[in-house]
């Protein structure tokens, strides 16, 4: 397994590999890998000759009051995990190599990114789209795998690939959960013991929504009420949003008639967690 | 020579060509080809195995009060000229194929595009950057050639390639002029006989600036005064801007101490023409 830090060297290497006829699979990550990331690597591994994973905590997708500095990092552990999953190349650039001091070109998504996390995190998806466009141009993947936990990000990346015609196939990787149902996230590390228990309310509120839907309740107002009740009982949980949106357009819906994405974000102290589920009746 | 209209077919074709080891050269145009475009094709032809030219009047780079509808078109003539220049593939998409009705991802340059034509044409360079990013992803060129007549566009595209890490080498093609010095432009077609003569004031004012600079005049204020004097004598000329900017940053300068780009835009009736020169002392 090779570790490449220079963007130019990364691009040269894949250009050589592609000229030699190899297909490239790609899993972009911010590191501090968990089973969720590893599942994406396994998905990608099966589609390609050469598997590239990137580890880059992208500064421009963090807002000024967000947790860029506190975002957990452990490159040595990540390296071992990548090796175990059969990654061929780890792309591990530093921010100075990725962004010129006078960088002035950005990729903006102006519809899907207005809601959900985009509403709470202005500039976040510009940062995500820009870095993913850069990574696609540096890694030149045939296939790239993104996790469904970041539901909005996934749909925005798919939109970017469509609208900018990137020659990349996007594969969706299912959410991976802890034994008790908490969606895996690098940020779970920051939870205290009591917060860790409280954090189950995300998954539980989604379960309630699904049960209500399956029992015939189509009113978003009614379902949301029950989700809010559950989360408000949890002392340390501070709700950011619970949204019911059309799975394709991310427009708010008030009835579960089409496939609906139910997404929520909840804060525990300074740790903000997200989860989601698509309900198809 | 093949003509491809579908974006998907275009991308499939170049992916095949690249897998077979061919290098791709690319000249994007809005058609109504003149000797300026053909000179770019000759430059590109010498660098690559397969030469692609695109002909696409990109709607999103025209403002609501601009000349999208009136922009001159003559595909049959363009086709013959491309064939004569050894173009292998003409990419000739229609706007509906290029832009989904719910398109929502755009490429923005937020520094170099604020001045010169960007100041008079809000949204123009977002349209240019977005379509060029799309074309790069559809044509996957190793080398792309852009003309120096569109000086600001050229620098913005170079910046986009740098900031988004496109694996494309940009080559600059020198301005091609008519025998009397008018820079070639598809829009010259719209000039009346008297406007055609008046339009020489762009080139002449640049000549004056250069002569003054060579004779030791470094003050932008003094040089601009002489250029304005010349243009104001021309009855039908309506000045849009004359700008003196640092050739690399496009920041306004008041002394000719570094390489300076002198760029101007002048309207003749509804026809807006541009010209420029880099003065290096």
Residue ranges per structural domain of chain A = 2-173, 186-276
For chain A, how big is the Rg over CA atoms in Å? Answer: 19
Q: The sheet that has B271-279: what strands, in order across it? A: B237-246, B260-268, B271-279
CB B208 within 8 A of CB B215: no
Contacts of B108 in chain A (CB under 8 A): 105-108
Is A34 annotated in some ligand binding site? yes
Question: Could you give the ipTM of this predicted complex?
Answer: 0.96
Neighbours of A40 (CB within 10 A): 28
Give the residue ranges of DSSP H helices in B165-281: 193-198, 200-214, 220-232
Measure CB to CB from residue A100 to each of B11, B18, B163 and give the nearest one. B163
Contacts of B111 in chain A (CB under 8 A): 102, 104
Contacts of A133 in chain B (CB under 8 A): 133, 164
Q: Is residue A258's pLDDT more than 90?
A: no
Torsion region of A118: left, alpha or beta (phi above 0 gives left; psi -120 to 50 gives alpha) = alpha
Per-residue HEC secondary structure of A79-107 comes to: HHHHHHCCCCEEECCCHHHHCCCCCCEEE
Q: Is residue A97's pLDDT more than 90?
A: yes
Q: Residues A36-44: what's their mean pLDDT? A: 98
How many CB pairs (< 8 A) connect A and B?
88
**Would you give per-residue pLDDT tens digits along chain B (281 residues)?**
999 999 999 999 999 999 999 999 999 999 999 999 999 999 999 999 999 999 999 999 999 989 899 999 999 999 999 999 999 999 999 999 999 999 999 999 999 999 999 998 999 999 999 999 999 999 999 999 999 999 999 999 999 999 999 999 999 999 999 999 999 999 999 999 999 999 999 999 999 999 999 999 999 999 999 999 999 999 899 999 999 999 999 999 999 988 999 999 999 999 999 999 999 88
Contacts of B54 in chain A (CB under 8 A): none
3-state SS, residue B56: coil
How confident is residue A281, by pLDDT bands cut at 50, 70 and 90? Answer: confident
Class of domain B2-173 as given by CATH: alpha beta
Judging by beta carbons within 10 Å of its beta carbon (0-12, 13-18, 19+), is residue A206 exposed, middle or buried? buried
CB contact A107 to B (< 8 Å): yes
Chain A interface test: which of B105, B126, B134 (most A C-beta within 10 Å): B105
Parallel, antiparallel or unpaired: strands A237-246 and A89-91: unpaired
Spatial distance between the Cα atoms of A94 and A58, rounded to a whole number of angstroms = 9
Question: Catalytic site residue A258?
Answer: no
Residue numbering of the annotated binding site of B for beta-alanine? 61
CB contact B26 to A (< 8 Å): no
Binary contact (B105, A108; C-beta < 8 A):
yes
What is the token pair recorded at A91? 């792309």
Mean of the per-residue pLDDT values of chain A: 96
Contacts of B21 in chain A (CB under 8 A): 19
CATH code at B186-276: 3.30.1300.10
The catalytic position among A37, A124, A190, A258 is A37
Judging by beta carbons within 10 Å of its beta carbon (0-12, 13-18, 19+), is residue B275 exposed, middle or buried? buried
What is the token pair recorded at A41? 């690597």
Binary contact (B160, A102; C-beta < 8 A):
no
In tens, the pLDDT along A174-223 reads 999 999 999 999 999 999 999 999 999 999 999 999 999 999 999 999 99
Spatial distance between the Cα atoms of B54 and A163, rounded to a whole number of angstroms = 18
| pLDDT recorded at residue A65 | 87
CB contact A106 to B (< 8 Å): yes
Spatial distance between the Cα atoms of B210 and B134, rounded to a whole number of angstroms = 38
Residue numbering of the annotated binding site of B for ATP? 30-37, 147-150, 176, 184-187
Nearest CA in chain B to A15: B167
Distance from CA of B106 to the nearest CA of A (A): 5
Binary contact (A109, B112; C-beta < 8 A):
no
How far the first Cα of chain A sits from its last, in Å, is: 45
Q: Residues A21-37: what's their mean pLDDT? A: 97
Which residues, other chains included, contact B271 with Cβ-Cβ below 8 Å and sequence gap of 6+? Answer: B187, B190, B191, B195
Residue with structure tokens 């940053």? B249
Contacts of B162 in chain A (CB under 8 A): 100, 105
Q: Residues A170-177: what's their mean pLDDT? A: 98
| pLDDT recorded at residue B120 | 87
Binary contact (B19, A21; C-beta < 8 A):
yes
Distance from CA of A272 to the nearest CA of B (A): 27
Binary contact (A104, B159; C-beta < 8 A):
yes
How many Cα atoms are found within 13 Å in the side-chain-facing hemisphere of B190? 17
Distance from CA of B105 to the nearest CA of A (A): 4
Measure CB to CB from residue B105 to each of A105, A137, A163 and give the nearest one. A163
Long-range contacts, A6-12 (Cβ 8 Å, 24+) = A6/A93, A6/A97, A7/A93, A7/A97, A7/A98, A7/A134, A7/A138, A7/B165, A10/A89, A10/A91, A10/A93, A10/A138, A10/A139, A11/A137, A11/A138, A11/A139, A11/A140, A11/B165, A11/B167
Element (H, E) at B19: helix B7-19
CB contact B49 to A (< 8 Å): no
| pLDDT recorded at residue B281 | 83
Spatial distance between the Cα atoms of A87 and A53, rounded to a whole number of angstroms = 7
Binary contact (A108, B112; C-beta < 8 A):
no
CB contact A248 to B (< 8 Å): no
Contacts of B18 in chain A (CB under 8 A): 18
């Amino acid at each position: 397994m090779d570790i490449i830090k220079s963007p130019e060297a990364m691009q040269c290497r894949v250009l050589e590999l592609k000229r030699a006829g190899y297909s490239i699979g790609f899993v972009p990550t911010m590191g501090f890998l968990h089973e969720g990331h590893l599942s994406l690597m396994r998905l990608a591994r099966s589609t390609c000759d050469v598997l590239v994973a990137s580890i880059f905590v992208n500064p421009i997708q963090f807002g000024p009051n967000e947790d860029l500095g506190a975002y957990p990092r452990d490159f040595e552990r990540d390296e071992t995990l990548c090796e175990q999953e059969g990654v061929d190349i780890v792309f591990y650039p530093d921010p100075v190599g990725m962004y010129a001091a006078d960088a002035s070109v950005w990729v903006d998504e102006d519809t899907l990114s207005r809601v959900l996390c985009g509403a709470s995190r202005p500039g976040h998806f510009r940062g995500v789209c820009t870095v993913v466009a850069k990574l696609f141009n540096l890694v030149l993947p045939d296939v790239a795998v993104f996790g469904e936990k970041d539901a909005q990000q996934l749909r925005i990346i798919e939109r970017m690939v469509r609208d900018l015609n990137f020659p990349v196939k996007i594969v969706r990787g299912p959410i991976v959960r802890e034994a008790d149902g908490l969606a895996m996230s690098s940020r779970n590390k920051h939870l205290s013991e009591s917060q860790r228990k409280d954090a189950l309310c995300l998954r539980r509120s989604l379960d309630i929504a699904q049960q209500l839907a399956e029992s015939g309740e189509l009113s978003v107002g009614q379902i949301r009420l029950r989700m809010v009740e559950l989360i408000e009982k949890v002392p340390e949980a501070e709700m950011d949003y619970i949204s019911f949106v059309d799975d394709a357009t991310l427009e708010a819906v008030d009835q579960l008639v089409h496939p609906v994405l139910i997404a929520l974000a909840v804060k525990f102290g300074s740790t903000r967690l997200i989860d989601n589920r698509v309900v198809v009746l």
